[in-house]
Amino acid sequence: MLLEQRTLSQAELARATGLSTATISNIVKALCARGMATTRPTTSSGRRAVAVSLLDSPDVAVGIDFGRSHVRLVLASPGNKLKAERFAPLPVGHLAADSIASAAVLLEEALAESGISRSRVIGAGVGIPGPIDHKTGTVIRGAILPEWVGVNIVSQLEHALAMPVLVDNDANLGALAQITWGDHRSAKDLVFLKIGSGIGAGLILNGAPYYGHTGITGEIGHSTIYDQGLVCRCGNRGCLETVASTAVMIDLLSRGEPTPLTVPGIIDRANSGDAATLRVIDDAGMAVGKAVANVANMINPEIIVVGGPLAALGEVLLAPIRRGLVRHAVPAIGHGTAVVMSSLGDRAEALGALSLALGQNPDWQR
């Protein structure tokens, strides 16, 4: 509560948390003894009260997002105060060891830039574009990074970074970021869609991330759209990723071009009104809408937030997703579910990783 509000009276803390005033008093004394909070006399409704304020912490956490062709690293202190940010491109097909070494270099650069001692780093949260076996800490089949499958990513990261590490799927972290950093902190039921080289979904149910029985949820990219479609990397046919990922868009729009198109190139062409580009985006959006309609019919979310490298397209991408949702969902759900673009841009997954490291995911230990 203090992280969100900065200053509250002890009585307000008791009402907000449901804890007794005696328990609140003991916790506040402990926070003050550790140099984490301070108190001062105040008045509330004309009565004397004690105001509790959280002090800025010298500690920081690390958030790291590994993608198919990039690594992004951010530093922040408790209270979600960003301290530094670093980004580096990675070659497609990069090995886990090489990518982790790159992240370690970025961490040293970020600490040097912000003047923060390594001893103040409490740990790191890391996002991976694929399913994670949380029992073993390994990347399992279905990841956009096939070179990482079977790698014990947690142990390798902890060794290279010399700190505790928590790892999760990047879409799960994108969803977590929406309720800890984004515009949807009050949302209780939310779906985050990341559309990139792969397509994944993170679920917030009843205000907390949902992991399911084995920790593998939101694999919407492998929903079947066309029974006789292309063979997907997962082994099935006609998955959403075979018709709506950025890799497919690039392949379709690069035919006849001297060099392959890039995602920024797709965005530029769409903004200039190129008919072929707009058709490819429209088809992809409708397919995404069809797939997410099945999810919406099951959980009836309040809002669907779209993120990933195509976020700059805005309504060009959102409009066909909405049409696909309305066409394939129960009418009341299709028309009653908001579909918006993430305000966090391409930093959502890294910011969600920070939230994980800062202990802002109540369901992590499940």
Q: Supply the pLDDT for residue 150.
A: 86
Beta-bridged to residue 205, according to DSSP, are 208
**Predicted structure pTM score:** 0.84
pLDDT in tens, 75-85: 998 777 889 99
- Is 1 in contact with 8 (CB distance < 8 Å)? yes
Q: Supply the pLDDT for residue 363.
A: 54
Average pLDDT over residues 8-13: 90
In this structure, the number of other CB atoms found within 10 A of the CB of residue 248 comes to 19
How far apart (Å, rounded) are the C-alpha atoms in residues 74 and 281? 31
pLDDT in tens, 106-149: 999 999 999 999 999 999 999 998 888 877 878 887 667 788 88
pLDDT in tens, 282-330: 999 999 999 999 999 999 999 999 999 999 999 999 999 999 999 999 9
- Position 365 confidence tier, pLDDT thresholds 50, 70, 90: very low
Nearest to 281 by CA among 314, 316, 257: 316
pLDDT in tens, 330-339: 999 999 999 9
Q: Indicate if the pLDDT at residue 252 is higher than 60.
A: yes
What domains can you pick out in the chain, each with its CATH number?
2-54 (1.10.10.10), 60-175 (3.30.420.40), 184-343 (3.30.420.40)
Q: Indicate if the pLDDT at residue 361 is higher than 70.
A: no
Give me the phi and psi of 314, to 5 degrees please.
55, -130
Q: Supply the pLDDT for residue 145.
A: 79
Q: Supply the pLDDT for residue 362.
A: 52
Between 2 and 20, the more confident residue is: 20
Average pLDDT over residues 237-266: 93
Only one residue has tokens 């309720």, namely 179
- Is 154 in contact with 142 (CB distance < 8 Å)? no
Average pLDDT over residues 57-68: 89
How far apart (Å, rounded) are the C-alpha atoms in residues 92 and 105? 19
> What rounded mean pLDDT belongs to the chain?
90
Q: Indicate if the pLDDT at residue 271 is higher than 70.
A: yes
How far apart (Å, rounded) are the C-alpha atoms in residues 61 and 224? 39
Q: Strand 338-341 relative to strand 303-307: parallel, antiparallel, unpaired? A: parallel
Q: Supply the pLDDT for residue 59.
A: 85
